[in-house]
Amino acid sequence: MRPNLGAVRLAASAAWTLSGNDIGTMITAAPRLYPHMWSWDTAFISIGLAHLNVARAARELETLLGAQWRNGMIPHIVFSEGTGYFPGPERWGAAELNTDAPNAPRTSGICQPPVHAIALRRIVDIARSQGQRDVAFKLLKTAWPKLYRWHEWLVRHRDPLGTGMLAIVHGWESGMDNSPRWDLPYAEVVPGPDLPPYVRLDRGLVAADAERPSDAEYDRYLWLIEEMRKVRYDADAVVRTSSFLVGDVFVTALFALASEVLATLGEESEQPPWRIRQLRGWARRSRAAVAAAYDPRTGLARDRDLRGDRWLSTSTIAGFAPLLCGGLPVDAEKSMLATLTGPEWAGHPALFARIPPSVSPNDVGFRPKEYWRGPMWPVIAWLFGWAFAQRGWQEESDHLRSECLRLAADGSFAEYYHPVTGEPLGSRQQSWTATVVLDWLH
Ligand code: 9WN
């Protein structure tokens, strides 16, 4: 029988999970598999923390922002002193190769989806609702300019077409590492003979190897790092030379959404009006790029392979990106929402909970246990739920919330879940799962 903790015990266990992952200097993404700070994980983690202690939440976000590169990039990993994760700081060599990277703490050399302004919005609102206006205002004042610079970096260095469609140079930057979205572009990434040998450390930390990416996938992940090392992580040179360059529709939608959110936060904290106007302009352009990626034949939005100069049509959760940021004509949007909740996706009769999995259960590539190739990720459901509430779709938002709470009621706080059986998969006590559950329970 699957355990069901009930709301009070579930909230207590979520809080306990976060404190268990607190190593003093940061809250790690997970106890063993991920003993460091990940950029988008930390954004979500700080939201959950805010319910427990707003000052602690502010500190967590500030720790991440403290590792921001001098050029504005927020790195995808901020390394702790902990070992046990590969590739670690030595393999990345970011600080050795690029003077924009901080020496301490050490970081990786790529980035992750820009969800941080959404976290800031949430923390500020939670703080205000608790009467802690001073903490909220202080955090806004320190974090806002840094987040502005982060968004500016993305526009400057990751919009190679100048259309607002943001590009990624590694599947890890999407946060959806081995999603079928990247199969075609990764097929063109050919690891060279000079790929230095390495030993994976993630094996054995999950129940079955198939829950993690394959060795062939890892070779490509590592090869892309070699390519970046060759150009010393110079942002424009990386975009010119990386054998993986893809316009990521999900990242672009999050950027559009987060830029609007940041603009509003800017108004609330009296930031320079020209910067606020600029953010709204970036949001408009990226929203239009997301809408332009919409394919009326499938009803989903596509990624764009910039090396292969082709659209990438896959049946993954990222195809619903326009629902996050808006921009589609009303009819197309309505029918996309109906697809998301309908029998191809969240309403598929075989599913354990009515939450969209990472790949449609009807797709030939659906693999219910394989990481980003099928499982349900609570954190992704949270993002849609939050965006839906902003867009006035409260019923759909509430529904995602209650279904996700049902999925997470076992208290494992798994990294991802089997969409049909609800079995926990990947890491346990994953911080971002605990934190979104905490947010839902408040
Ligand atoms: C590589 C930490 C991260 C998440 C990603 C998820 C996974 C790392 C890995 O774990 O990626 O960055 O080693 O598999 O795909 O979204 O941020 O939780």
Structure tokens at 137: 């205002």
Q: What integer is the mean pLDDT of 338-366? A: 98
Q: What CATH number corresponds to the domain at position 253?
A: 1.50.10.10
Is 1 a domain residue? no
Q: Is any ligand 1 atom within 6 A of the Cβ of residue 100?
A: no
Ligand 1 atom 16: the closest Cα is on which residue? 175
Q: Which atom of ligand 1 is nearest to the CA of 34?
A: 2
- Structure confidence by residue, pLDDT tens digits, 89-110: 999 999 999 999 999 999 999 9
How much is the ipTM here?
0.99
Is 2 a domain residue? no
Q: According to the model, what pLDDT value does residue 1 have?
A: 83
Q: What integer is the mean pLDDT of 270-285? A: 98
| Side chain identity, residue 352 | F
Q: How many folded domains does the chain comprise?
A: 1
Ligand 1 atom 18: the closest Cα is on which residue? 29
Is 435 a domain residue? yes
Is 71 a domain residue? yes
Q: According to the model, what pLDDT value does residue 203 have?
A: 87
Is 434 a domain residue? yes
Is 62 a domain residue? yes
Spot the catalytic one: 152, 177, 183, 344.
Answer: 177
76 CA to centre of ligand 1 in angstroms: 9
- Closest by alpha carbon to 403, among 427, 426, 378, 420? 378
Q: What integer is the mean pLDDT of 259-278? A: 97
Q: According to the model, what pLDDT value does residue 37 have?
A: 98
CA distance linking residue 228 with residue 239, whole number of Å? 9
Q: Which backbone phi and psi does 301 adopt, to 5 degrees? A: -90, 155
175 CA to centre of ligand 1 in angstroms: 6
Spot the catalytic one: 202, 305, 370, 415.
Answer: 415
From residue 116, alpha-carbon distances to 38, 44, 233 in Å are 12, 8, 23
CA distance linking residue 140 with residue 425, whole number of Å? 36
Is 165 a domain residue? yes
Q: According to the model, what pLDDT value does residue 263 have?
A: 98
The secondary structure of residue 74, as a DSSP letter, is: P
98 CA to centre of ligand 1 in angstroms: 23
Q: Which backbone phi and psi does 267 adopt, to 5 degrees? A: -65, -40
To the query of whether residue 305 is one of the catalytic residues in this protein, the response is: no
CA distance linking residue 320 with residue 341, whole number of Å? 11
Q: According to the model, what pLDDT value does residue 210 have?
A: 87
Q: Is 308 left (phi over 0), alpha (psi -120 to 50) or beta?
A: alpha
Is 65 a domain residue? yes
- Structure confidence by residue, pLDDT tens digits, 210-239: 889 999 999 999 999 999 999 999 999 999
